[in-house]
Amino acid sequence: MHSHRNGLKTAALLGLLTALILGVGYWFGGSAGLVIAVGISLVMNAVTYFFSDKLALRSMGAQPVSEAQFPALYQMVRELSTAANQPMPRLYVSPTMQPNAFATGRNPANAAVCVTQGITQILDQRELRGVIGHELSHVYNRDILISSVAAGLAGIITALAQLMWFIPLGGGSNDDDGPNPAVLLAMLILGPIAATVIQLAISRSREYQADASGAELTRDPMALASALRKIHMGTQRLPLPADRQLTSTAHLMIDNPFRGGGLAAIFSTHPPMEERVRRLEQLAGNNGPIQYLR
């Protein structure tokens, strides 16, 4: 099943990031710079992890909404939360006209779900329910934690590469002349790029997982597939400005809020929409129950 493969892929990619850290750190030869890089990266990502909900909501100008304002939204979120035996998240609406949605919060007890004004205008109730199932699944699958770990590991690699320009290296071999300059240069340039590519691959894997988990939660994969088609058309028609604050939270959205194509797909936080829809259609055609990884 796709869910099982996505879980294994995520674990393998996290392992690859860890191996990359060990490979880069090897050239430090026990330098204090390694400890400094790890410490700085961990502190920065810990702050991002604990305040991810506030940062994401602020970047989208989201406002809390009451049940009196959005009764249908509250009803479907409450229904799906109850079905998953999870607490009710806080609900927000962003005034953005681009159709999109995201969930954030480090655990179900501190979760927030946000939909944009645009998505409420183009989706019917069944499609919106599919989107809510996807977003709640991100919370239940601890994707904020997974993405924070991936960002932390990638940040360590980037910090190590930057420190290599300033800190004398002890060399990672018995060669007294130190590391090969060509290898060192390649590591300085390619290390951070490789870390970023792996981190983004983890993000794409978690989107596939949330699609599958959300389809299991709602028992309606075709509703999410239909919603994704409409959302993607809307995000391409109304791309958000790629400012720094929005870029840092783009991976949380159900669809990439920026317009991109060609080589940009390699550095995308989201998998191709066509493939997401194809997998959901395949799930809808299965006779057995959809597997759901908690």
Catalytic site positions: 135
CB 103 within 8 A of CB 138: yes
Rounded Cα distance, 124 and 99, in Å: 13
Q: Is 232 annotated as a binding residue?
A: no
State the DSSP string of 207-225.
HHHHHHHHHHHHT-HHHHH
Q: Is 79 annotated as a binding residue?
A: no
Beta strands in the chain (DSSP E): 63-64, 90-94, 101-104, 112-116
Would you say 114 and 101 are in contact if contact means Cβ atoms under 8 Å apart? Answer: yes
Q: Binding residue per annotation — 251?
A: no
Angle, CA 263 vertex, CA 14 and CA 201 arms, to 5°? 15
In what order do the strands lie in the sheet containing 101-104? 63-64, 90-94, 112-116, 101-104
Query: Residues at the annotated binding site?
Result: 134, 138, 207
Residue set of the binding site for Zn(2+): 134, 138, 207
